[in-house]
Structure 1
Amino acid sequence: MARRGVMSVKLNQDQEYFTCATEDGLRIFHMDPLVQTFYVDGSKIGSVRCAEMRFRSNIVALISGGNRPLYDDRTVILWDMLKEKAVTKVVVKEPVLDVKMATDRLVVILRSKVILLAFPSGETLAEITTRDNPNAVCALSHFSRKLIIPSKKSRGSIQIEDLDKDDAAPQSKPPLILQAHANDIICLAINPTGEFIATASTQGTNIHLYNTVTKELKKLRRGVDKANIYCLNFSKDASYLSCSSDKGTVHVWSLKDLDLNPVSTLKPLVGLPNEIKSYASFTVTAECACLCSFGPGDAIYAVCLDGSFHKYKLGRDGSQTDTGRNCFRVSYDVYPNLGELYD
């Protein structure tokens, strides 16, 4: 659902900026304080379907789309925001669904494959076959050098790959494959250190939290009705996990202080762990995709495709207000209405 010309929004790797791909070009915003820091008009770049910023650098990887694309859908453009020009073009044989960046890697996501490329040369290092992946489900952690994708082995399984994988290397370590859900994977997240992996399936009622160190699995209860999960995201220190869905509720679980989370009253199947309910939640526009991010001072943000920007502060007093549970609204903005920082 694209409103106000917004086609997608994506966080940078430290969650302090987000890119906004639009029918009229590309915009980049700083999260807090919320200000627009870059804008490239559609006359220079065309309409943009999705884009990801490389940390805090001036390089953005983008894919054309919409009504006025400048490039075809098989091309990934590395755009220099300062020079306002394309510095690298990577062309593949199939339509590109999404792209992700690390400091030295570019991950191109296709319908049934991901391609690992060296940055900035664009040299192909590895091609990894996935299960049919129309939603471009993929997560990576630059710091732990891990890449998570839906595995072709079985429905609902995930594959943990080395971000340094190189098909030309004489020996490569086989990927770790985990059976995460019974249904297809719809969303993934990994925390920066690679300790935790969160997964959601097309059922969308439970989020599974896997500890890669202890091998422990926890089931986090989102709700009882089927939902389309839009976003899973960890805070930088893995104290919290957030989830947004088409139900219009953003849920937050405490991962370091588990006692903050109530336990679900639903009785689990024999041998399965109790289901943990979220300790905090707030509402955004239903059936409108949004991504969530955490900031300093227990801040949490929701950036929605309808142009709305929500900032909340998490609490611990069990309060319930008209704006949220265990959290309160700090600010609300419509980010497409913001001009450039130096206007």
Structure 2
Amino acid sequence: MARQVMNVKLNQDQEYFICATDDGLRIFHMDPLVQITHVGEAKIGSVRCVEMRFRSNIVAFVSGGARPLFDDRTVVLWDLLKERPLSKVVLKEPVLSIKMINDRLLVILRSRIIVLRVPRGETLTEFTTRDNPGGVCAVSCTARKMVFPSSKNRGCVQIEDLDRCDTSPESTPPLMVQAHGNDIVCVAINAAGDSIATASTQGTNIHVYNTLTKETTKLRRGVDKANIYCLNFSKDTNFLCCSSDKGTVHVWSLKDIDLNPVSVIKPLVGLPVEVKSYASFTVTAECACVCSVGSGDAIYAVCLDGSFQKYKLGRDGSQTETGRNCFRVSYDVYPNVGELYD
């Protein structure tokens, strides 16, 4: 029987991923693709939203689907080794998404983000956001910074220091970046916390903003409006990848921007030149997909339809049946991959 996958998240070092399914949650190693852990519905019910904490024994989840054990206002911190909850945090409204670093849990609600201490779940602080039905938020574990849609203006993002809640709230004013004219639907922040990538409801361009130089690079995804599912920096910030409902994963070179072709569409006077993607390949259209660029020029795509694809970046500008400037190495259906220790 096919398992329904409702949510997929990469862990913080992008070497594992966790998925929420109608029969619990599952954790996989990316390369090679191996199922590491399965917590069944008998213990936690069906799950809608999940998050790992690096490679530790602690995961967080929100129930959902056909057989939930908890309501959609409860975040459960679960100990994989002891097979029991560490803590449960009950909110006054549905939880849209969750993020976690070593000692912080971020609970994303419709118009605010609550920061909790891990593992006990004590509330440390909260931030007001723009109306955020998609639960848009990204966090850098190394720099301990988060980025989310600001309540200040449409298309504006706010960058906050997660250690700010341990000191005076006024000690470090947040950085505001007017990234787009339309509402923000997807954000990413690199490990160093000095580059952010943003996409709006238009979905035709991705903007990369450097917080040190204050420069913006405009990346052209396409000419048709698209719903952006994922933006992700490689761990060394050399590449940025993007997936959308068009069924195409795009990869841009950020270290050597000249590797990317320049868009033939001329920008307005004073605006930056639009940069096209260095490589691209196709996945299932209109299916949410998480993508990442790993070591050795490997590109991964994990989709909610259960497909897992690994590609390798090319260097010759070739166009093949499986991709542009890249070639497919493997294809799997990950819900059918057995556990490491059966």
Would you say same fold, with TM above 0.5? yes
Who is 1:240 aligned against? Answer: 239
How many Å apart are 1:296 and its aligned residue? 1.5
Are the counterparts in 1 of residues 86 and 119 from structure 2 also a CA contact under 8 Å? no
The residue aligned with 1:297 is: 296
Question: Number of paired residues?
Answer: 341
Aligned AA (2:64): G
Alignment-derived partner of residue 33 in structure 1: 32
State how 1:74-85 maps to structure 2 within 5 Å.
74-85=73-84
Question: Where does structure 1 differ by over 2 angstroms across 4 or more consecutive aligned residues?
Answer: 167-172
- Compute the displacement of 1:167 (Å): 7.6
| Residue type of the alignment partner of 2:219 | L
Give the alignment of 1:121-160 within 5 angstroms.
121-160=120-159
% identical equivalent positions: 76
Q: Which moved more, 1:141-150 or 1:274-283?
A: 141-150
**Which residue pairs with 1:65 in the alignment?**
64
Partners of 2:119 and 2:196 lie apart in 1 by: 28
- Give 1:166's aligned residue: 165
Q: Distance in 2 between matches of 1:271 and 1:186?
A: 25
Aligned-partner residue type, residue 161 of structure 2 = D
CA distance in 2: counterparts of 1:139 and 1:64, whole angstroms = 21
Does structure 1 conserve the Cα–Cα contact (< 8 Å) formed by 2:5 and 2:20? yes
Task: Assess if the C-alpha contact under 8 Å between 1:125 and 1:165 holds in 2.
Answer: no
Q: Aligned to 2:261, what secondary structure does the other structure show?
A: coil
Opposite residue 205 of structure 1, the aligned amino acid is T
- For residues 76-118 of structure 1, give each alpha carbon's deviation from its aligned partner in whole angstroms, at most 9, with x where no partner exists: 1001111111111111111111110001111000000000111
Q: Provide the rounded CA distance (Å) in 2 between the counterparts of 1:6 and 1:151.
A: 30
The answer to whether 1:189 aligns with 2:183 is no
* Cα distance in 2, alignment partners of residues 255 and 244 from structure 1: 17
In structure 1, what residue type is equivalent to 2:274? E
Cα deviation, residue 170, structure 1: 6.7
Paired residue type of 1:23: D
The answer to whether the 8 A contact 1:145-1:163 is kept is yes
Would the aligned equivalents of 2:26 and 2:35 in 1 still touch at CA under 8 Å?
yes
After superposition, give the CA deviation of every residue in 1:227-283 in whole Å (9 maximum; x if it has no partner): 000000010000100000000000000001111100000010111000000010000
Aligned in 2, Cα 1:59/1:234: closer, same or farther, shift over 3 Å? same
Deviation at 1:121, TM superposition (A): 2.4
Work out whether residues 240 and 293 of structure 2, in 8 Å CA contact, stay in contact via their aligned partners in 1: no
2:40 counterpart letter in structure 1: D
Mapping of 1:45-64 within 5 angstroms?
A: 45-64=44-63
Which TM-score applies when normalising by structure 1?
0.98
Quote the offset at 1:168 in angstroms. Answer: 7.2
CA shift digits 1:128-174 (9 cap, x unpaired): 11000000000010111211010000100000111113287374322
Over aligned residue pairs, what C-alpha RMSD do you find? Answer: 1.1
Measure, in 1, the Cα distance between the counterparts of 2:165 and 2:188.
23
SS in 2 for 1:297: helix
Match of 1:259 in 2: 258
Which residue matches 2:4? 5
Letter in 2 for 1:21: A
Q: Which runs of 5+ in 1 are unaligned?
A: none
Q: In 2, distance between residues paired with 1:295 and 1:279?
A: 16
Which residue in 2 is equivalent to 1:342?
341
Q: Counterparts of 1:161 and 1:168 in 2: how far apart (Å)?
A: 13
Q: Judge conservation of contact 2:76–2:87 (CA < 8 Å) in 1.
A: yes
Give 1:315 shift.
1.1
TM-score (norm 2): 0.98
